[in-house]
Amino acid sequence: MSDLNKSTLLEIINLIKLKKISSLEITNHFIKNIEKSKNLNCFITTCFEKTIKSAKDFDAKKDFSGLLSGVPLAVKDLFCTKNTKTTAGSKILSNFIPTYESTVTDNLWSEGAILLGKLNCDEFAMGSSNETSFFGNTINPVGKNLVPGGSSGGSASALAANLTPATIGTDTGGSIRQPASFTGTVGLKPTYGLCSRWGIVAFASSLDQAGPMTKNVEDCALLLEAMSGYDEKDSTSINKKKENYSKNLNPKINGLKIGIPKEYRVENMPKEIDGLWKKGIDILKNSGAKIIDISLPHTKYALPTYYIVAPAEASSNLARYDGIKFGYRSIKGKNLIEMYENTRGEGFGDEVKRRVLIGTYVLSSGYYDAYYLKAQKVRRLIKNDFDKCFKGVDAILTPSTPSSAFKIGEKSNDPISMYLNDIFTVPVNLAGIPAISIPAGHDSKGYPLGLQLISKALDEQKILNLAFAMEKSIDFKQSFNRWWE
């Protein structure tokens, strides 16, 4: 049998379908890998008894009708899983066992997948390095002292280290694409409304989207197909027919027009990133695409706009954590108000408190117009920029991040430099449009770097096709000696 640690999601599905391996055998393979990889700190919760029981049930029934028949999958610990602890990386939810299942994970189980465990993430998905997690930082298999990116850092590391054949994350300002870029994996942030938000612990509701993280583009198309779809329980869910992304995957991109936004050529961008971008442009040209220079003039306002809108929504969403009905409750305090204060003071970490403070400030009556309302207006201008460009181009190519993976502790005391890491990813969330990050090369230290393809709303198939074509030319290779085991 081929090396299971090199197998893609699709290959594993086929091995199960062809009965070359049982669901239980493949599940045990990943459980063994997880147990040997505790040093990476990818998992917050495992539920192996349940996982093994589900695999045995699958093998007894052998129902191959689903897209993900018999495959074990670990998911970010932001997705509520019925009867399995869901923490959002926070102390305040460290004892929370949901009585319901998120729609997206429910879709995966309906397609035959099995829950392998819950993956580490920044607290309430606020972060770019996985260092804000109450459960400790996750380590990037690329290097001992490297962050995996965030907030879906546990997902990205687990995938790169072969602790799960594929995974899902959430992306509010880059949390799927940036960790994918830092770990040499593929990550897609779908159009806002394509995947249901129901049952996902909320961060910033107008920006949050769930999406696939995989080893290659084919797997990405398949997983997106499995997890997406209309959900009447989410009022922002788009009511449209389910797409067949994997079947329609086509690397022929001849004649497509690709925009290169001049505003993404930021100051102090490392030469290697610029070089990688040029390499991407050449690959697209050689595949018959037409390269067009474009302008997204409001790009420079995207980061400040995001860091007003996201904390504003977070401060409102996080008001529910009061220690009354669920989650952590402080035993300190002489009355109800003091109990609230102590619960929130002890239950939230520093980054979450910072966002709640910023959010409360920008929404307060004296500052609402100057900050929140202004940010909403600028958000519209950013979206208008994209709308205008997509009249002339099919997709946009940019780097995914302004740097490769940085060291643990390197930015954790400097929030602004941490926030700057989101510079290429946040405009897409503000505009509600889809984007994919694919591994495109390495820097001089040998760390992976990603390129990002962006399209107009609901054009996921187009960026998947472009990414598929680029992936074939790039032929990105990454192998580890599993130094952490």
Asked if 231 touches ligand GLN (CB under 6 A), the answer is: no
Binding-site member from 23, 41, 172, 246 for ligand GLN (CB under 6 A): 172
Using CB positions, name the residue nearest to ligand GLN.
175
Asked if 127 touches ligand GLN (CB under 6 A), the answer is: yes
CA angle 378, 384, 386 (to 5 degrees): 115
Cβ-contact 260, 389 below 8 angstroms: no
3-state secondary structure of 239: coil
Cβ-contact 49, 172 below 8 angstroms: no
Residues 195-214 that bind ligand GLN (CB under 6 A): 203
Strand (E) or helix (H) holding 157? helix 153-160
Asked if 171 touches ligand GLN (CB under 6 A), the answer is: yes
403 is catalytic: no
- With contacts defined by CB under 6 A, name the span among 137-145, 169-177, 289-297, 457-465 that binds ligand GLN: 169-177
Shortest gap between Cβ of 416 and ligand GLN (angstroms)?
Answer: 12
Binding-site member from 73, 125, 158, 294 for ligand GLN (CB under 6 A): 125
Binding-site member from 175, 191, 287, 404 for ligand GLN (CB under 6 A): 175
Asked if 261 touches ligand GLN (CB under 6 A), the answer is: no
Burial of 57 (0-12, 13-18, 19+ CB in 10 A): middle
Beta-sheet pairing, 167-171 with 72-76: parallel
133 is catalytic: no
Residue with tokens 């610029």, as numbered in its chain? 274
- With contacts defined by CB under 6 A, name the span among 55-63, 158-166, 171-179, 281-289 that binds ligand GLN: 171-179
Residue with tokens 């305040």, as numbered in its chain? 92
Give the residue with the Cβ less far from ligand GLN, 165 or 450: 450
Close Cβ partners of 223 (under 8 Å, ≥ 6 residues apart): 9, 68, 166, 168, 212, 214
Cβ-contact 103, 199 below 8 angstroms: yes
Asked if 302 touches ligand GLN (CB under 6 A), the answer is: no
Give Cα 456 to chain centroid, integer Å.
Answer: 19
Cβ-contact 464, 217 below 8 angstroms: yes
Shortest gap between Cβ of 369 and ligand GLN (angstroms)?
Answer: 24
- With contacts defined by CB under 6 A, name the span among 28-36, 123-131, 277-285, 409-417 that binds ligand GLN: 123-131
175 is catalytic: yes
Asked if 174 touches ligand GLN (CB under 6 A), the answer is: yes
Please tell me the distance from the alpha carbon of residue 61 to that of residue 57, in angstroms, as a whole number: 6
Shortest gap between Cβ of 206 and ligand GLN (angstroms)?
Answer: 13
Cβ-contact 29, 1 below 8 angstroms: no
Residues 421-450 that bind ligand GLN (CB under 6 A): 422
Determine the size of the site formed for ligand GLN (CB under 6 A). Answer: 13
Residues 15-54 that bind ligand GLN (CB under 6 A): none
Angle formed by the axes of helices 23-36 and 48-61, to 10°?
A: 160
Give the residue with the Cβ less far from ligand GLN, 174 or 199: 174
Token pair of 110, please? 């309906």
Cβ-contact 389, 294 below 8 angstroms: yes
Asked if 180 touches ligand GLN (CB under 6 A), the answer is: no
Give the residue with the Cβ less far from ligand GLN, 37 or 130: 130
Structure letter (DSSP) for residue 364:
S
Strand (E) or helix (H) holding 439? strand 435-442
**Bridge partners of 48?**
none
Shortest gap between Cβ of 211 and ligand GLN (angstroms)?
Answer: 10
- With contacts defined by CB under 6 A, name the span among 158-166, 172-180, 261-269, 395-403 that binds ligand GLN: 172-180
Burial of 259 (0-12, 13-18, 19+ CB in 10 A): buried
Asked if 12 touches ligand GLN (CB under 6 A), the answer is: no
Shortest gap between Cβ of 126 and ligand GLN (angstroms)?
Answer: 5
Shortest gap between Cβ of 163 and ligand GLN (angstroms)?
Answer: 21
Closest CA to 172 of 193, 151, 194, 186: 151
Asked if 173 touches ligand GLN (CB under 6 A), the answer is: yes
Shortest gap between Cβ of 307 and ligand GLN (angstroms)?
Answer: 8
Residue with tokens 């992304």, as numbered in its chain? 245
- With contacts defined by CB under 6 A, name the span among 56-64, 170-178, 245-253, 466-474 that binds ligand GLN: 170-178
Shortest gap between Cβ of 269 and ligand GLN (angstroms)?
Answer: 19
- With contacts defined by CB under 6 A, name the span among 134-142, 166-174, 359-367, 403-411 that binds ligand GLN: 166-174
Shortest gap between Cβ of 187 and ligand GLN (angstroms)?
Answer: 11
Where helices occur in 228-348 by DSSP H, the ranges are: 271-286, 302-317, 336-347
Q: How many other C-beta atoms can be found within 10 angstroms of the C-beta atom of residue 300? A: 13
- With contacts defined by CB under 6 A, name the span among 64-72, 90-98, 124-132, 472-480 that binds ligand GLN: 124-132
**Of 133, 151, 228, 403, which one is the catalytic site residue?**
151
**Of 7, 23, 37, 76, which one is the catalytic site residue?**
76
Please tell me the distance from the alpha carbon of residue 83 to that of residue 113, in angstroms, as a whole number: 17
- CA distances to 231, 234, 274, 379 from 238, rounded to whole Å, are 8, 9, 36, 21
Contacting positions for ligand GLN (CB under 6 A):
125-128, 151, 171-175, 203, 310, 422
* Active site members: 76, 151, 175
